[in-house]
Chain A
């Protein structure tokens, strides 16, 4: 058995190396760069959404706020203060962490209340940013970053952030923090009796899940060269994070990656041609997933073949 396990591990390692090679050679592949770039962005979004929803059961419906704040901070810091773009992106990530700490009080709410309050915070933030003076945030027209347009470097920065997010989820999942999170999700009272500090543990997951989308938002601003309130705070960004993570399997490491690769590819093919159909399909997907496929691909696989659990986490 241990030999079989070792073989399976080798297969997994092989897949990881292959995936890494694929993304590293992205700009040289005969595929549009924007496809590979956004594939990495969505893997990052799904992975970090999974850290909070998959591991704690908290559904931040205004998740897009982190992405939006990251992209806005990056654009404002670079264009108004002249801070180098890479530094601005990481300061945007810091802004995301700050925002998650501001929102930390909402973690005492549960279920639908948390989801609705989080959603309201994101939408209020969007309106406030759109109404800031144009000299600060560019109003409803947004900010252009085309002067530093550099798809190549922004692509590799995105790759770095994606790898970082996957490693972070993996480290969390096998650490005491991961075990504590799962305990709280499954039975908060029992976890508390066992001596787990619920508030502190949740807060760690919350901050971590805010950091990566903020970075992704900043890199996306750089890659695409323009931001505005309507697209930086588009609720569909939350929706896609949910759908991709859920399709692959919440509460697993490989799930969000598999889900994002599978669905984003589909999304990309359809989106280019029929944007309206895309909205329809997203809606159908989210309803059907919740009703008929709540565990996702990886969740269903590990449930049917428990021995896989050791391999694909």
Chain B
């Protein structure tokens, strides 16, 4: 009975976190799918959003959900600006994929260093702004912050799906993911769509980052790397170039991660994400990553 309870609790938090992971992955996936740019600074953008929310709260007493009104447009615009500054140049290099990977890795170091210089290495925490921090459901406890984050992420995922499958722009983004050259024939400007896609990618990770303090309390300059890693695990699980697949990937990863903590010592739990990543890429490179350039 005890084990059953624990398992149920792990499944619940796996689903709550999985949805959040899925959205982080979806942002990375759209950017990679549309322009084959590997945004290795994805987690650092999330970290910036988390810090912004922290400062909004400390300086102006604005809660995370309200700060989204600023963060969403800001990250969208930032994405478009970064796109125009970096990506066209990267796409011209000999090996755009590797070049983008290294460039964004450099950007991730720059962001981390700047945050360290500005605000130091001490973890920051947000005072929980929405009533009681935990909800009781029969014998189970749920973090209110995670439930709010989950609900918000689910709505966002639904909106993303509607956008990608029902709007002209969304269909253009999916078309570019499928075939970058062919879309020119039907009069789509890949450059324009790519900049929007980069904006959406950053917007998604910014939204998640803004609410991350509700889910995981500590905000640190070094937190980005683990989210970048999670995003990669999620997109190889859900399929590269398939943004909505990332949501499924996120749920699978969230469940695996949380259930495995029941059986593994806590210190070893980060190994899970690495092992999943290695295993999937090695075992099913074509299956999960359909339509990309793995394998020889």
Contact = CB atoms under 8 A, between A and B. Distances in A.
Contacts of A287: 102-104, 106-107, 110
A57 interface: yes
Interface string B244-281: 00000000000000000000010110110011011001
A81 interface: no
A295 to B, nearest CB: 10
Contacts of B275: 120, 124
Contacts of B89: 291
B267 A112 contact: no
Contacts of A116: 232, 277, 281
Interface in A97-130: 105-106, 108-113, 115-117, 120-121, 123-124, 127-128, 130
B22 to A, nearest CB: 19
A130 B269 CA distance: 13
Contacts of B106: 282-288, 290
Contacts of A115: 98, 101
Given A110-B296, A121-B278, A127-B268, A283 B113 contact: yes
A182 to B, nearest CB: 14
B29 interface: no
A248 to B, nearest CB: 16
B220 interface: no
A276 interface: yes
B294 interface: yes
A131 interface: yes
A188 interface: yes
A205 to B, nearest CB: 16
Contacts of A130: 267
Given A131-B268, A290-B99, A280 B93 contact: no
Contacts of A284: 106, 110
Contacts of A242: 102
Interface in B32-69: 38
A148 interface: no
A290 B98 CA distance: 9
Contacts of B111: 283
A279 interface: yes
A287 B281 CA distance: 27
A276 B38 CA distance: 25
Interface string A57-69: 1010000000000
A109 B294 contact: yes
B274 A112 contact: no
Contact of B97 (A111, A188, A198, A279): A111
Taking residues whose C-beta sits less than 8 angstroms from the other chain, chain B's interface range is 35 or more
A239 B110 CA distance: 13
Q: Which of A115, A242, A282 has the most CB of B within 10 A?
A: A115
Interface residues of A, number: 39
B282 interface: yes
A117 B107 contact: no
B116 interface: yes
Contacts of A108: 295-296
Nearest to B294: A113
Contacts of A123: 270, 274
Given A108-B296, A127-B267, A291 B282 contact: no
A157 to B, nearest CB: 32
Interface string A283-302: 11111101100100000000
A276 B111 CA distance: 12
A180 to B, nearest CB: 16
A290 B93 contact: yes
Contacts of A117: 277-278, 281-282
Contact of B109 (A112, A124, A282, A291): A282
A57 B285 contact: no
Q: Which of A57, A59, A109, A116 has the most CB of B within 10 A?
A: A116
Q: Which of B38, B102, B281 has the most CB of A within 10 A?
A: B102
A108 B282 CA distance: 9
A117 B110 CA distance: 24
28 contacts: A59-B98, A59-B101, A108-B296, A109-B281, A109-B282, A110-B295, A110-B296, A111-B97, A112-B97, A113-B285, A115-B98, A116-B277, A120-B274, A120-B277, A127-B268, A128-B271, A131-B265, A239-B109, A276-B116, A279-B113, A280-B113, A282-B106, A282-B109, A283-B106, A286-B102, A286-B105, A286-B106, A291-B99
Interface of B: 38, 86, 89-90, 93-95, 97-99, 101-114, 116-117, 229, 232, 265, 267-268, 270-271, 274-275, 277-278, 281-282, 285, 289, 293-296
3 pairs of A and B residues whose beta carbons are closest in the complex: A283-B109, A287-B106, A286-B106
Interface of A: 57, 59, 105-106, 108-113, 115-117, 120-121, 123-124, 127-128, 130-131, 188, 198, 239, 242, 276-277, 279-280, 282-288, 290-291, 294
Given A117-B278, A280-B117, A294-B93, 11 more contacts: A57-B98, A108-B296, A109-B295, A242-B102, A279-B113, A280-B114, A283-B106, A283-B110, A283-B112, A290-B99, A291-B103
